[in-house]
Amino acid sequence: MSVSLRCVEASDLLLPGSLPEALAMMAEPEPPTPLAGGTDLMVQCEAGARKPPARLLSLKQLPELKGIDEADDTIRIGAGATHWQIRNHADVKVGLPGLVEAVSMVGGRQIQTMGTIGGSLANGSPAGDIAPYLLIADAVVEVASIEGTRQIPIRNFLIDYRKIDLKPNELIVAVTCKVLPEGAKEGWRKLGPRAAQAISKIMGNYRGKIVDGVIESFAVSLGSVAPTAIRLPEVEAFLVGKPLSEETIAEAERLASASVKPISDIRSTAEYRKWVAGRLVRGFLTSFTKGNEGSEGSEGCES
Amino acid sequence: MQTKEITFKHVGQGIPRRDGDEKVRGLARYVDDLNIPDCWYGVAVRSPVAHGRLKTLRYDPAFDFDQVCVVTPEDIPGKNIVDMMGQDMPFLAHDLIRYRGEPLALVAAPTRQLAEQAAAHIQPDIDPLEPLYTLEEVIALHKTDRSKLDELSAQTIIKGSVDEGLAAADKVIEGEYWAGHQEQLYIEPQGMVAIPEKDGGVFLQGSLQCPYYIAPELIVTLGLPLEKIRVKQAAVGGAFGGKEEFPTLVAGYCALLAMKSGKPVKMVYDRCQDIRYSTKRHPAWMKYRVGLKNDGTITAIHVDFVLDGGAYTTLSPVVLYRGILHTTLGYNCEHVFVDGRVYRTHTFPDGAFRGFGAPQAIWGLESHMQECADALGMDAEVFRLKNYLRAGDKTGTGQVISAEMDPPAVMLETLKRSDFVNRRTLNTYGVPRDGKFFGVGVAFFGHGSGFTGDGEMRLQSKAALDLDWLPNGKPGVNIRISSTEMGQGTLTIMPQIAADGLKIPMACVDCPLPDTKYVPDSGPTVASRTAMVVGSTVYGAAEKMKALLEQYASDAFFGGHPCHLEDGVLTCSAVSQSQTFEDVARRLLEEKGMQRVVHQFKLPDTVVWDQKTFKGDSYPSYSWSANIVEVEIDALTLEIKLKKATSVWDIGRLMNPVLAKGQIEGGLTQALGYALMEKMGIRDGLFDADRMQTYVVPTSLDTPEFDIHFMEYPYPHAAPGAKGVGEIPMDGLAPAIANAIKAATGIRMNRIPITPESLWEAMPSTRKEIAS
């Protein structure tokens, strides 16, 4: 079977050799559409949800967007790093274990091989698999244009439904995450309509630390329950300093459920999402009492 | 013809798929791969409303229509009718529009882009009418005011007196069951090419199941005699019934454009078009009322069975017949009343899909039988085994279960292999254990093999074998049948069967893709009939070809003494000489040219069927199965996981155990999607899950541990004795899963797909938690 790709047929492809060259092209009056893995863009064009752009600017070959580098307590991931590279990176596995789990559930191997962390953020979908993790890892998004570079905390970068803090002439260059602190634990769960190759109905991440049965810190985020991925500040504020008891867990579950206003769509219902938002928080907290390693997540594909 | 004493050499062996290599290597040529010079591309101008009256088509004067070919109803050489049941569907709507996307005109152009542009410049003016979209709306009217519904078909089954049976009951158990649309989601979307022939005829090649549906159905529309409509199958990337009757539409569109333009015209749907504008499984609603004695005896079964037929009749009556015949199948009951109806809605016509009405019926039947067992406090298997049909018992239509069938055998074996009686002690009945609900559920069912009633008698299926030169230059036998390969293994099992009938090596037998120019009508590739009916017809033809070869060899080589063909060698004991098949065939071909033998399928004379009263032998035979499943539900999220599926199958004699197991694993996976995932809604008259991203089918990670086991009870009247395997795997998994979910949660889910969301709605405890 041959395949016709309306996106590719209709668009001119620009292939800059370096980031400055790419930024110069982005500075033109009608900037081209950046193309990373194309795993969202090409599907959107093919489905008629988006008009094929006149010009595409390929990011794949830019050396500045590659690379994953560890500093003291952070890991800087180039925007062009693919899910597959992130998943198999030794430093990321140790420092950002929840990210490894999150990218493992993005599509299947083909999508993971093509898709990039920068592309996932730029797509701005509230169901994106990466943003909730970046929220609990206090990530900073680095964007660049010919005017210079901006460092934007992820919670400010995600503005609204499919709206991010990225100007038409800017490119996402890197994402820097705080590594899991000593003694802390993080985990993740995605509920999709099937075991793999699925867009989430809801997903969440947490990072927390319990000392002598008392919650010292707890960050929790959810995706697919609001126009963007969100943290749950009320739940977090309630939990810090509390003993990890059934009473605490029940109240956190109630608070989490009460604090989200999800919608019904083709994947799930508002009512179920609202209920299960609380259930995920319960599951995250219970994982501390069980003392099991890592996350609550179900198995990723090709793990 | 008795099969028991025959021994088989190739039949029963797990021979690899003959078309496997070319498909794995990407060498198989699907319709979109065919290189057809100067081929134009066809598209349809589709209605933007689901129900209305077409006033006129407006052509944008700014667009140059001279560069394209446009077909409107006036251009149709014959009648503007799709020649299917009901005769109610036009090829191009010209007055009443009955579904959104119904073609109003056709456009062909040298490129797809230009054809799409031209189509966009043809605008219909339509007076809209009120549409009826869903089965829920239909059932509301069915219960209150049927005069507002358009009935496409109706049929009853009556045995004894259901009122008498209900009056004799200690308890009457009622239940309603719902099933939604299901999309076939074959890998290769619909596609066809029509090439005008010099003699005024048309040559069609494409992705299709039934070449002899398309050719005769197009006579009326194209105004051509049958011999001028040639249909050839290209490699098919899956079908599941979705390429049974539907390809006639695309074939007609392409043929009309090709005949007007004089150009070859191709149409290949993209995924979104394919989902929106091709057939689905009929949504179904059933209401069961079953009379029971306290000892577990079933005194009466009353069933209302309603299908949503979509916009036109097409095959709905036949789907209804198979549906109602399976609503009580397997259970022994004196008093049966089944009231089956199909109503029209304003969505794309529903059509054939693996199982053809039976999966809907068995979803209701086996869910309700469990409700009956539960109401009596009887164990699932005890209730079923008490009531199940045994040899000598009569079905709802009065068909006697013959001595060579033993339906409960598969149930007993499944119970044993699944350790059901011990495993069910782990059922959680609504109280989770270690954060999980657990349940084990059973379904027990049969599936009629072949066409309903005396359909196989009326079809008069034929198979031909041609002794000819094969592509490798050697003499051999070509199997000429209209049965198609669509992934199920036809191209492999037919040579196995022919080689066994002829007693020659499989390498000497070929099975080319069907082309109506060369193959007789063996009937359609549907109804789990290919191995049983066409396989037996090929076997009969092979025996004739063997006799022909033996006669020729006797005359040509052995001085008139009789000889015997075995293992590819013709031996004459009278003269103690032998000749190879190849040498005999070579001389015969050189001397007399190609030799054809034809055989026609016959049912035993004892088969009696009354199509009006639905009494008699409703199917030539039945396959039987039991599925026992273990389901785990996460108490935290209500995610449902099918952990294990144990199943035992009587599909008659196995033609190829590896392919049969593949059919069953694939079918069970499709049934898993039907039960737990595949959800199709209607939004503004169109199916809402119109992409693979939104129409969620299971992947291998969703499949359970499968334990699949066969018990062979060959069909005695058609050697080699296959029954049907194609459809039955689709039938029983959904109710088995629902029964397991009840054992796990205590809740009867009566609507598929069953999702965490629907389970959440049904579980009052979870609702309470959110309210608190």
Mean pLDDT of A193-198: 90
Provide the percentage of residues in chain A whose pLDDT is more than 90: 83
Would you say residue A295 has pLDDT above 80? Answer: no
Averaged over A195-221, what is the pLDDT?
95
pLDDT value of residue A298: 39
Q: Delimit the domains of chain B by residue range.
A: 3-28+455-600, 34-130+185-276, 284-453+611-771
pLDDT for residue A100 is more than 80: yes
Q: Could you give the 3-state DSSP secondary structure of residue A271?
A: helix
Q: Is B771 on the interface with A (CB under 8 A)?
A: no
Chain B contact set for A278 (CB, 8 A) = 769-770
A-chain CB neighbours of B636 within 8 Å are 279-280, 282-283
Contact A208, A218 (CB under 8 A): yes
Tell me: ipTM over 0.90: yes
Burial class (CB in 10 A: 0-12, 13-18, 19+), A182: exposed
Residue A151, Cβ density class (10 Å: 0-12 exposed, 13-18 middle, ≥19 buried): exposed
Q: What's the CA gap between B118 and B63, in Å, rounded?
A: 7
Which helix (DSSP H) or strand (DSSP E) does residue B194 occupy?
Answer: strand B191-196
Tokens at B452, concatenated: 């309903």
Nearest to A194 among B33, B188, B696 (CB): B696
Q: Identity (one letter) of the amino acid at A72?
A: D
| Inter-chain touch A272–B756, beta carbons under 8 Å | yes
Which DSSP string do the residues of B653-717 spell out, in sequence order?
S-S-HHHHHHHHHHHHHHHHHHHHT----EETTEES--STTTS----GGG--EEEEEE-----TT
What mean pLDDT is predicted for residues A242-257? 97
CB nearest A196 (choices: B689, B699, B772) = B699
Strand partners, B41: B109, B266
Burial of A13 (0-12, 13-18, 19+ CB in 10 A): exposed
* Assigned architecture for domain B3-28+455-600: 2-Layer Sandwich (3.30)
Beta-strand runs (E) in B293-396: 298-308, 336-343
How far apart are the C-alpha atoms of A7 and A49, rounded to whole Å?
11
d(CA B172, CA B167): 9
* Residue range B173-199, pLDDT digits in tens: 999 999 999 999 999 999 999 999 999
Question: How large is the average pLDDT for residues B404-423?
Answer: 95
Distance (Å) from the C-alpha of residue B757 to the closest C-alpha of chain A? 6
pLDDT of residue B767: 63
Distance between CA atoms of residues B683 and B100, nearest Å:
11
CATH of B284-453+611-771, one of 1.10.260.40, 3.40.640.10, 3.30.365.10, 2.60.120.280: 3.30.365.10
Instruction: Render pLDDT for B347-399 as a digit per residue (tens, 0 to 9).
Output: 999 999 999 999 999 999 999 999 999 999 999 999 999 999 999 999 999 99
Is the pLDDT assigned to residue A3 strictly greater than 80? no
* pLDDT tens column, B470-503: 999 999 999 999 999 999 999 999 999 999 999 9
- Interface check for A198 against chain B (CB to CB < 8 A): the answer is yes
Q: What is the mean pLDDT of chain A?
A: 91
| Residues 6+ away with beta carbon under 8 Å from B696 | A193, A194, A198, B673, B677, B678, B679, B689
| Cβ-contact B505, B496 below 8 angstroms | no
Strand pairing category for B103-109 and B202-206: unpaired
Q: What is the pLDDT of residue B768?
A: 58
Per-residue confidence at A133, pLDDT binned at 50, 70, 90? very high
Strand partners, B466: B478, B596
* Chain A, nearest residue to B696 by Cα: A193
On the question of pLDDT at B100 being above 90, the answer is yes
> Cβ of B699 under 8 Å from any chain A Cβ?
yes
Interface contact flag, A279 B636, Cβ < 8 Å: yes
CATH topology of domain A63-178: 3.30.465
- Provide the pLDDT confidence category of residue A6 given band limits of 50, 70 and 90: low
Q: Which residues of chain B have a CB within 8 Å of the CB of A196?
A: 699, 701
* A276/B272 Cβ within 8 A: no
pLDDT: is B145 or A195 the higher one?
B145
Alpha-carbon separation of residue B542 from B362, B484, B488, B497 (angstroms):
37, 19, 22, 8
How much is the pLDDT for A105? 87
Q: What is the structure's pLDDT at B771? A: 46
Residues of chain B neighbouring A261 (CB-CB closer than 8 A): none
Residue B756 near chain A (CB below 8 Å):
yes
Q: Which residues does chain A have within 8 Å of residue B696's beta carbon, measured at their own beta carbons? A: 193-194, 198
* Closest C-alpha to B356, from B455, B232, B490, B212: B455
Query: How close A80 comes to chain B (CA, Å)?
Result: 24
Token pair in block for residue B359: 């999966």
- Taking the CA of residue B237 and the nearest CA in chain A, the distance in Å comes to 9
pLDDT score recorded for residue B478:
98
Chain A contact present for B127, CB below 8 A = no
Question: Is the preceding peptide bond at B720 cis, omega within 30 degrees of 0?
Answer: yes
**Does A43 contact B693 at a Cβ distance shorter than 8 Å?**
yes
* Per-residue model confidence (pLDDT) at position B169: 98
Question: In the block, which residue shows the tokens 């008392």?
Answer: A214
Q: Is the confidence at residue A1, as pLDDT, over 70?
A: no
Choose among B349, B346, B341, B329: nearest CA to B282.
B349
For position A2, what pLDDT does the model report? 41
Say how far apart CA A25 and CA A21 lie, in whole Å. Answer: 6
**Any B CB within 8 A of A15 CB:** no
Summarised one tens digit per residue, pLDDT across range A41-81 is: 988 888 788 888 999 999 999 999 999 999 999 999 999 99
Which among A1, A21, A148 has a CA at the least distance from the CA of B28? A1
Query: Is B770's pLDDT higher than 70?
Result: no
CA proximity to B729, closest of B625, B608, B659: B625
Chain B CB contacts of A43 below 8 Å? 693
**Tell me, what's the pLDDT at A50?**
86
Mean pLDDT on B580-603: 97
pLDDT recorded at residue B685: 96
Radius of gyration, CA atoms only, chain B = 27
Q: What is the mean pLDDT of residues B223-228?
A: 97
Nearest Cβ partner of A191 from B637, B677, B693?
B637
Q: Strand, coil or helix: what is A212?
A: coil
Report whether pLDDT(A197) > 80: yes
Three-state DSSP class for residue B474: coil
Q: Are A99 and A200 in contact (CB under 8 A)?
A: no
For chain A, what is the radius of gyration of the CA atoms? Answer: 19
How many residues comprise chain B? 772
Q: Which CATH code is given to the segment(s) B34-130+185-276? A: 3.30.365.10
* Phi, psi for residue A186 in degrees, rounded to 5: -135, 160
HEC string of B367-396?
A: HHHHHHHHHHCCCHHHHHHHHECCCCCECC
**What is the per-residue burial (b if ≥16 Cβ within 10 Å, else e) of A107-128?**
bbeebbebbbbbbbbbbbbbbb
Q: Rounded to whole angstroms, how far apart are CA atoms B354 and B484?
A: 15
Question: DSSP character for B190?
Answer: P
| pLDDT value of position A136 | 98
pLDDT of residue A291: 55
Per the CB < 8 Å rule, is B761 touching A43? no
Cβ <8 Å between A272 and B701: no
Task: Find out whether A177 and A96 touch, Cβ atoms under 8 Å.
Answer: yes
Tokens of B768: 């309470």
- B314 pLDDT above the threshold of 60: yes
Percentage of chain B beyond pLDDT 70 is: 98
Task: Specify the length of chain A in residues.
Answer: 303
pLDDT digits (tens, 9 = 90+) for B2-25: 445 678 999 999 999 999 999 999
- Residues A23-48, mean pLDDT to the nearest whole number: 92
| pLDDT band for position B772 (cuts 50, 70, 90) | very low
Flag whether residue A268 sits within 8 Å of chain B, measured between CB atoms.
yes
Q: Is the pLDDT of residue B602 over 50?
A: yes
Q: Number of C-alpha atoms within 13 angstroms, CB side, residue B738?
A: 30
Local confidence band at B404 (pLDDT 50, 70, 90 cut-offs)? confident
Helix, strand, or coil here: B440? strand
CA-to-CA distance for B692 and B595, rounded, in angstroms? 48
Place of tokens 């026992």: B628
The verdict on domain A185-290 having CATH code 3.20.20.100 is: no
CA distance B643 to B703: 8
Give the pLDDT confidence score for residue B116 in this predicted structure.
96
Q: Give chain B positions within 8 Å (CB) of A199.
A: 693
Supply the pLDDT for residue B657. 98
Q: Average pLDDT over chain B, rounded to whole? A: 96
